[in-house]
Amino acid sequence: MKSVAAAALLALALSTTTASAQSGASYFDIVDLDHDGRISLDEYIERFSYAFRQMDKNRDGVVDEYEQEVPGPRLTLAQLHAQLTAQFHRQDKNHDGSLSPREFLAPPG
């Protein structure tokens, strides 16, 4: 069930990012915080933890059921980071430690 909460947080982060991307900047550029043409694990985690930080009203590093718009299981920031790290490594097809635009924009899998 924790992956459901993480998926909901990721969807919220993506919807925020997509809205910004439609206003002119590319989706990749929004996540590529240092604009070096690659997305590092740190950039990936930073960007996709945004929704978690917004939902964590009491700033305790945990999104509890009462803090979620759609009730789901409790999720810690550490759990979210572990799930994001695993997703990043699945997308890093050439295992160079960063995501190219092609790797980032490809369907995860």
What pLDDT, in 10s, does the model give residues 83-100?
999 999 999 999 999 999
Q: Which of 39, 55, 46 is nearest to 99 (CA)?
A: 39
Average pLDDT of the chain is 84
User: For residue 11, what pLDDT band results from cuts at 50, 70 and 90?
Assistant: low
- At residue 46, does pLDDT exceed 90? yes
CA distance 107 to 58: 34
Q: Which residue has the higher pLDDT, 3 or 61?
A: 61
What dotted CATH number matches 2-105? Answer: 1.10.238.10
Q: Which residue has the higher pLDDT, 55 or 25?
A: 55
CA distance 103 to 20: 21
CA distance 51 to 92: 23
Q: How far is CA 90 from CA 50, 87, 103, in A?
A: 21, 5, 10
